[in-house]
A and B are shown apart, each in its own frame.
Chain A
Amino acid sequence: MHSYPSIETKESLIQHPLSEPHIEIKDLNVHIDGRHILKNINLALPNNSVTSIIGPSGCGKTTLLKTLNRLVDDTKGVEITGSVLVNGEDIYGRNAEVTHIRKKMGLLSQKPYPLPMSIYDNVAYGPRIHGIKSKKELDKIVETQLRNVALWDEVKDRLGHSASGLSIGQQQRLCLARGLAVEPEIILGDESTSALDPLSTAKIEELLIELKKDYTIVLVTHILRQARRVSDYILFVYGGEILEFGPTEQVLLNPQHEITKQYVKGFIS
């Protein structure tokens, strides 16, 4: 078991670091067009756990997630200071290679966006661009990953069909398989179930809990019940700052900060 960080102050998060932080954020500040979006973020996320980022709309949750795989780079007028360490390596460092960093982090977007190709090619796309050419090897990856997301039995007879023919829930599982096929270490989810029906949502949640054995998972979510169901830690972001970070039960049931209290009770959204 990892030691829980103290939650009294933001600074304490680095003063009592987790035993094996997978992702470590140090003095991260993000400005977009002069607006201060993320303020002095210091955070350490442990291996093999699910962390949910919660907070009101526009608080900077998604920007925080995007700084982890450097998708934030593409935003116009963005300025980033501080560092994000993954396995101790700064992804904003001079020698960091962005395609390599992104390969390490699978992204599950809000709505499923299958690539405009067949079911098979969606999963095989990542491995292919990263250099796997053998048909046999690709076949194996496709089957393994589709089984991983419990989609294999539903699609094994139509692997050559267009991915857009699948239901939304199936598409989201396919997107997860596509992300897993490049063998990431971290899975980032940006409200990944918000377009799904309850049944498909439950399936994705089950998968995430299953997957944390092998991955570190960071989710942005609006749904507190979901955060409670799937996450080990909760990170509450408010006005671009981390107000609270701790084990799920503690943040939801016994929040330390007055604003967190109001948020989890539903007074602010």
Chain B
Amino acid sequence: MDNTKRRLLNEKIAKGFMHLSGITVTASLFFIVGTILYKGLPYLNWDMVSQLPKGGFYIGKEGGILNAILGSLYLAGVATALSALIGIPISLYLNVYLGGKSRITQFSKLLFDVLYGVPSIVYGAVGFGIMVYFGIRASLLGGIITVTLLTVPIVVRTVDELIKTIPQDLKNVTLSLGTTRWELAKVMLRSIRAGLLTAILLAFGRAIGDVAGVLLTTGFSDNLPKYIDEPAATLPLAIFFQLSSPIPEVQGRAYASALVLTIIILIIVVCTHILQSKQKNR
């Protein structure tokens, strides 16, 4: 086989793999969404999203999962906001004040990479340990602390990657206007503002989808999450408990809950995209 033919064949094989993985991913996505829709749609009704569970989350066939929807939104919302408030300054400090190449920065980045990869059950266990030590019971507060710890590394590392995309020359010309480091940091944040939304979205996705961290620290409740020091329901746990119920109707309601969770994430993603395109056009 001559050289050109061999190269074209290589190209075809490579492209074939790309198509194959593309198809696999798309098909799996359709299969997942299809399953949730098929099994969950019959049980999804207004009561499901507007009522509290009746007869208990485990065996109750009536009522809804408003407790879990609100619990998840509170928990993920607050934890994401906190992790942005903690994570963005960390990333800025490492990159703007210490400099991307300093040893402390390198070491911190390694540390955050490890934290990024630590499974959430470990965070849950640590959070649980802290709570026991201080005598706090499973509560929304415990969950928020745990999930914040879980999402800070995501924000730090994503913002770090974003900062790397800022050209050195932009930093140089900004500094040459006589800015302080803090003013430079603000300009840098502005230039990556569209990407920051993605970082926050990633953190929110992980926060609202987490099961293991909240299992130990937040507990579960059939009531609305009114107080921060009381146990609260979350959607992933609601799905988990309903699925493990022996009653088929309750299992169906688990899929409806999954559908609600998926829709919430969809709404957040779409909103992020709209905000991002608005940012880019400015």
Interface residues of A (CB under 8 A from B): 69, 71, 74, 76, 99-100, 102-103, 105-111, 113, 115-117, 125-126, 129-130, 162, 175, 178-179, 182, 188
Contact = CB atoms under 8 A, between A and B. Distances in A.
29 contacts: A69-B176, A71-B176, A76-B101, A99-B178, A100-B178, A102-B177, A102-B178, A106-B176, A107-B172, A107-B176, A109-B172, A111-B167, A111-B169, A113-B167, A113-B169, A113-B170, A113-B173, A115-B170, A116-B187, A116-B191, A116-B193, A117-B190, A129-B177, A129-B178, A130-B178, A175-B173, A178-B177, A179-B173, A179-B177
A182 B170 contact: no
B168 to A, nearest CB: 9
Nearest to A77: B101
B191 A103 contact: no
Contacts of A109: 169, 172-173
A115 B190 contact: yes
Contacts of A107: 172-173, 176
Contacts of B172: 71, 107, 109
B47 interface: no
Nearest to A178: B177
Contacts of A108: 173
A36 B220 CA distance: 65
Contacts of B190: 115-117
Nearest to A66: B172
A102 B191 CA distance: 22
A103 B173 CA distance: 11
A110 B169 contact: yes
Given A113-B170, A115-B187, A116-B191, A105 B176 contact: yes
A126 B184 CA distance: 12
In the complex, the 7 A-B pairs of residues with the closest C-beta atoms, listed nearest first: A103-B178, A107-B176, A116-B191, A113-B170, A109-B169, A126-B177, A116-B190
B282 interface: yes
Contact of B282 (A100, A125, A130, A162): A162
A2 B281 CA distance: 51
Contact of B175 (A76, A102, A130, A178): A102
Given A71-B175, A113-B167, A129-B177, 8 more contacts: A71-B172, A102-B175, A105-B176, A108-B173, A113-B170, A117-B190, A178-B173, A179-B177
B27 to A, nearest CB: 39
Interface residues of B, number: 22
Contacts of B191: 115-116
Contacts of A111: 167, 169
B3 interface: no
A188 to B, nearest CB: 8
Interface in B182-223: 183, 187, 190-191, 193
Nearest to A181: B177
Interface in B203-247: none
Contact of B178 (A74, A175, A182): A182
A125 B177 contact: yes
A237 B126 CA distance: 60
Nearest to B169: A109
B136 to A, nearest CB: 43
Contact of B99 (A76, A103, A117): A76
B28 interface: no
B272 interface: no
B174 interface: yes
Nearest to A113: B170
A188 B175 CA distance: 13
Contacts of A178: 173, 177
Contacts of B101: 76
Contacts of A105: 176
Contacts of B193: 116
B165 interface: no
B45 interface: no
Contacts of A106: 176
A156 to B, nearest CB: 20
A45 to B, nearest CB: 18
B100 to A, nearest CB: 9
B21 interface: no
Contacts of A188: 176
A64 B281 CA distance: 38
Given A110-B169, A116-B193, A129-B183, A102 B99 contact: no
B180 interface: yes
B31 to A, nearest CB: 41
A45 B75 CA distance: 63
A185 B22 CA distance: 58
A126 B169 CA distance: 17
Contacts of A162: 281-282
Contacts of A113: 167, 169-170, 173
A117 B190 CA distance: 8
Nearest to A105: B176
A116 B193 CA distance: 10
